[in-house]
Amino acid sequence: MPGTSTGSDSGTGTGLRTESGTGSNPATGSTPLLRRFLSVEELAVSRTPDGAPDPSGIAGRLAAKEAVFKLLGSVGKPVPWQGIEVLRGPGGRPGVRLSGRAAELARTAGVGPIDVSISHDAGFAIAVAAATTPYDRPSRWISDSEGNAMSSAGIDKVRDWILGRHPERTELASDVDLIESRLVDSLAFVELVYTIEDAAGVEIDFDNIDIEDFQTLATIEKAFFA
Protein backbone atom coordinates (compact mmCIF):
# COMPACT_ATOMS: atom_id res chain seq x y z
CA MET A 1 0.00 0.00 0.00
CA PRO A 2 1.83 3.14 -1.19
CA GLY A 3 0.00 5.55 1.04
CA THR A 4 -3.31 6.42 2.60
CA SER A 5 -4.77 9.07 4.86
CA THR A 6 -7.53 9.30 7.39
CA GLY A 7 -8.92 11.97 9.60
CA SER A 8 -11.90 13.11 11.67
CA ASP A 9 -13.90 16.18 12.60
CA SER A 10 -11.92 16.58 15.82
CA GLY A 11 -9.30 18.89 14.34
CA THR A 12 -6.74 16.23 13.43
CA GLY A 13 -5.63 14.45 10.30
CA THR A 14 -3.47 11.36 9.89
CA GLY A 15 -1.36 10.02 7.04
CA LEU A 16 0.37 6.71 6.40
CA ARG A 17 3.17 5.93 3.93
CA THR A 18 5.29 2.86 3.28
CA GLU A 19 9.06 3.35 3.43
CA SER A 20 9.78 0.64 0.85
CA GLY A 21 8.80 -0.23 -2.70
CA THR A 22 9.75 0.92 -6.16
CA GLY A 23 8.39 2.77 -9.15
CA SER A 24 5.11 4.38 -8.11
CA ASN A 25 6.21 4.96 -4.52
CA PRO A 26 7.60 8.52 -4.34
CA ALA A 27 9.58 7.68 -1.21
CA THR A 28 11.84 5.41 -3.27
CA GLY A 29 11.43 7.09 -6.66
CA SER A 30 13.81 9.16 -8.74
CA THR A 31 14.54 12.85 -8.20
CA PRO A 32 12.24 14.00 -11.07
CA LEU A 33 9.39 12.06 -9.45
CA LEU A 34 10.20 13.47 -6.02
CA ARG A 35 10.08 17.01 -7.42
CA ARG A 36 6.37 16.51 -8.03
CA PHE A 37 5.84 15.94 -4.31
CA LEU A 38 8.62 17.79 -2.46
CA SER A 39 9.85 21.38 -2.71
CA VAL A 40 13.50 22.25 -3.24
CA GLU A 41 13.88 22.94 0.49
CA GLU A 42 12.24 19.64 1.42
CA LEU A 43 14.48 17.71 -0.96
CA ALA A 44 17.52 19.36 0.62
CA VAL A 45 16.63 18.10 4.10
CA SER A 46 15.47 14.65 2.92
CA ARG A 47 18.93 13.21 2.38
CA THR A 48 21.23 10.83 4.22
CA PRO A 49 24.65 12.03 5.45
CA ASP A 50 26.22 10.78 2.22
CA GLY A 51 23.80 12.88 0.13
CA ALA A 52 21.49 10.11 -1.08
CA PRO A 53 17.68 10.42 -0.86
CA ASP A 54 16.42 9.24 2.54
CA PRO A 55 13.34 6.96 1.99
CA SER A 56 12.41 7.11 5.67
CA GLY A 57 12.51 10.91 5.81
CA ILE A 58 10.72 11.26 2.49
CA ALA A 59 7.97 8.84 3.54
CA GLY A 60 7.54 10.80 6.76
CA ARG A 61 7.13 14.06 4.89
CA LEU A 62 4.63 12.55 2.45
CA ALA A 63 2.62 11.11 5.33
CA ALA A 64 2.66 14.52 7.05
CA LYS A 65 1.49 16.25 3.87
CA GLU A 66 -1.41 13.81 3.60
CA ALA A 67 -2.28 14.38 7.25
CA VAL A 68 -2.31 18.15 6.76
CA PHE A 69 -4.43 17.83 3.62
CA LYS A 70 -6.95 15.68 5.50
CA LEU A 71 -7.01 18.28 8.27
CA LEU A 72 -7.99 20.91 5.69
CA GLY A 73 -11.14 18.91 4.85
CA SER A 74 -10.58 18.58 1.11
CA VAL A 75 -10.76 14.83 0.59
CA GLY A 76 -11.48 13.87 -3.01
CA LYS A 77 -9.59 16.85 -4.47
CA PRO A 78 -6.01 16.82 -5.83
CA VAL A 79 -3.43 17.16 -3.08
CA PRO A 80 -1.45 20.43 -3.43
CA TRP A 81 1.82 18.65 -2.68
CA GLN A 82 4.07 21.64 -3.32
CA GLY A 83 1.84 23.96 -1.30
CA ILE A 84 2.26 21.89 1.87
CA GLU A 85 5.88 21.92 2.98
CA VAL A 86 7.14 19.91 5.95
CA LEU A 87 10.46 21.41 7.03
CA ARG A 88 12.70 21.33 10.08
CA GLY A 89 11.53 23.59 12.88
CA PRO A 90 13.22 24.60 16.13
CA GLY A 91 15.00 21.69 17.78
CA GLY A 92 14.62 19.59 14.65
CA ARG A 93 10.86 19.19 15.08
CA PRO A 94 8.86 19.10 11.84
CA GLY A 95 7.18 22.37 10.93
CA VAL A 96 4.48 23.07 8.33
CA ARG A 97 4.49 25.92 5.82
CA LEU A 98 1.48 26.49 3.55
CA SER A 99 1.33 28.41 0.28
CA GLY A 100 -0.86 28.74 -2.80
CA ARG A 101 -3.99 26.60 -2.87
CA ALA A 102 -3.10 24.85 0.39
CA ALA A 103 -3.03 28.20 2.19
CA GLU A 104 -6.39 29.12 0.66
CA LEU A 105 -7.87 25.80 1.81
CA ALA A 106 -6.60 26.46 5.34
CA ARG A 107 -8.15 29.92 5.35
CA THR A 108 -11.49 28.56 4.11
CA ALA A 109 -11.43 25.82 6.74
CA GLY A 110 -10.47 28.28 9.49
CA VAL A 111 -7.41 26.19 10.30
CA GLY A 112 -4.61 27.94 12.17
CA PRO A 113 -0.92 27.08 12.66
CA ILE A 114 -0.47 23.35 12.20
CA ASP A 115 1.61 20.98 14.31
CA VAL A 116 2.68 17.60 12.94
CA SER A 117 4.13 14.54 14.58
CA ILE A 118 5.87 11.82 12.56
CA SER A 119 6.75 8.33 13.73
CA HIS A 120 8.16 5.25 12.04
CA ASP A 121 7.18 1.64 12.72
CA ALA A 122 7.47 -1.67 10.85
CA GLY A 123 8.40 -0.07 7.55
CA PHE A 124 5.74 2.62 7.67
CA ALA A 125 5.78 6.34 8.36
CA ILE A 126 2.79 7.60 10.32
CA ALA A 127 1.94 11.28 10.76
CA VAL A 128 -0.64 13.21 12.74
CA ALA A 129 -1.52 16.86 12.03
CA ALA A 130 -3.44 19.13 14.38
CA ALA A 131 -4.39 22.83 14.50
CA THR A 132 -5.87 24.76 17.39
CA THR A 133 -6.05 28.48 16.48
CA PRO A 134 -7.74 30.49 13.70
CA TYR A 135 -5.74 30.86 10.53
CA ASP A 136 -4.81 34.28 9.20
CA ARG A 137 -2.58 35.14 6.29
CA PRO A 138 -1.93 38.16 4.08
CA SER A 139 -3.36 38.18 0.58
CA ARG A 140 -1.17 36.57 -2.05
CA TRP A 141 -1.89 39.56 -4.27
CA ILE A 142 0.49 42.49 -4.33
CA SER A 143 -1.32 45.85 -4.15
CA ASP A 144 -0.20 49.25 -5.32
CA SER A 145 -0.21 52.36 -3.12
CA GLU A 146 -3.94 52.82 -3.72
CA GLY A 147 -4.81 49.25 -2.82
CA ASN A 148 -5.47 48.08 -6.37
CA ALA A 149 -4.61 44.45 -7.06
CA MET A 150 -1.55 43.96 -9.23
CA SER A 151 0.13 40.74 -10.35
CA SER A 152 0.32 37.89 -7.83
CA ALA A 153 3.59 37.06 -6.13
CA GLY A 154 3.36 33.61 -7.71
CA ILE A 155 3.32 34.81 -11.31
CA ASP A 156 6.23 37.11 -10.51
CA LYS A 157 8.17 34.01 -9.49
CA VAL A 158 7.38 32.44 -12.88
CA ARG A 159 8.43 35.65 -14.67
CA ASP A 160 11.71 35.73 -12.73
CA TRP A 161 12.40 32.11 -13.70
CA ILE A 162 11.91 32.89 -17.39
CA LEU A 163 14.03 36.04 -17.24
CA GLY A 164 16.71 34.10 -15.40
CA ARG A 165 17.00 31.83 -18.44
CA HIS A 166 17.31 34.83 -20.75
CA PRO A 167 19.73 37.37 -19.21
CA GLU A 168 19.52 39.43 -22.42
CA ARG A 169 15.99 40.46 -21.39
CA THR A 170 15.22 42.83 -18.52
CA GLU A 171 11.43 42.65 -18.65
CA LEU A 172 8.64 40.40 -19.87
CA ALA A 173 5.16 41.64 -20.71
CA SER A 174 2.21 39.52 -19.69
CA ASP A 175 0.97 39.11 -23.29
CA VAL A 176 4.23 37.85 -24.86
CA ASP A 177 3.77 34.40 -26.41
CA LEU A 178 6.32 32.31 -24.50
CA ILE A 179 6.16 29.37 -26.90
CA GLU A 180 6.25 31.25 -30.21
CA SER A 181 9.05 33.53 -29.02
CA ARG A 182 11.04 30.47 -27.89
CA LEU A 183 11.41 31.89 -24.41
CA VAL A 184 10.21 28.47 -23.31
CA ASP A 185 11.20 25.63 -25.64
CA SER A 186 10.27 21.96 -25.46
CA LEU A 187 13.24 21.18 -23.19
CA ALA A 188 12.35 23.93 -20.73
CA PHE A 189 8.60 23.30 -20.69
CA VAL A 190 8.74 20.63 -17.99
CA GLU A 191 10.80 22.97 -15.80
CA LEU A 192 8.18 25.68 -16.39
CA VAL A 193 5.47 23.31 -15.16
CA TYR A 194 7.48 22.50 -12.03
CA THR A 195 8.04 26.23 -11.43
CA ILE A 196 4.30 26.92 -11.68
CA GLU A 197 3.52 24.01 -9.37
CA ASP A 198 5.98 25.31 -6.80
CA ALA A 199 4.75 28.92 -7.03
CA ALA A 200 1.03 28.11 -7.05
CA GLY A 201 1.11 25.16 -4.67
CA VAL A 202 -0.77 22.92 -7.11
CA GLU A 203 -0.16 19.65 -8.91
CA ILE A 204 -0.48 19.81 -12.70
CA ASP A 205 -1.64 16.68 -14.53
CA PHE A 206 0.74 16.19 -17.47
CA ASP A 207 -1.83 13.94 -19.16
CA ASN A 208 -4.39 16.75 -19.36
CA ILE A 209 -2.27 19.81 -20.12
CA ASP A 210 -3.80 22.53 -22.30
CA ILE A 211 -0.89 24.27 -24.01
CA GLU A 212 -2.94 27.50 -24.27
CA ASP A 213 -2.75 27.82 -20.49
CA PHE A 214 1.02 28.21 -20.81
CA GLN A 215 1.29 30.55 -23.80
CA THR A 216 1.66 33.84 -21.92
CA LEU A 217 2.11 35.03 -18.35
CA ALA A 218 -1.48 36.27 -18.50
CA THR A 219 -2.87 32.84 -19.40
CA ILE A 220 -0.67 31.18 -16.77
CA GLU A 221 -1.92 33.59 -14.12
CA LYS A 222 -5.56 33.03 -15.12
CA ALA A 223 -5.19 29.24 -15.15
CA PHE A 224 -3.15 28.73 -11.97
CA PHE A 225 -3.13 31.89 -9.82
CA ALA A 226 -6.60 33.41 -10.23
Query: Nearest Cα to 176, choosing from 210, 220, 142, 209?
Result: 220
Burial letters 68-83, b for 16+ CB under 10 A, else e: bbbbbbbeeeebbbbb
One CATH from 3.40.50.280, 3.30.365.10, 1.10.3720.10, 1.10.1200.10 for 141-224? 1.10.1200.10
Name the CATH architecture for the domain at 3-131.
Answer: Alpha-Beta Complex (3.90)
- pTM for the model stands at 0.52
Task: Please write the tens of the pLDDT for every residue from 103-133.
Answer: 888 888 887 788 888 988 878 889 898 876 5
Task: Specify the pLDDT at position 79.
Answer: 81
141-224 has the same fold as 3-131:
no
What is residue 150's three-state secondary structure? strand
Query: What are the boundaries of each domain within the chain?
Result: 3-131, 141-224
Task: Please write the tens of the pLDDT for every residue from 140-183.
Answer: 333 333 433 334 678 888 988 899 888 888 889 999 999 899 99
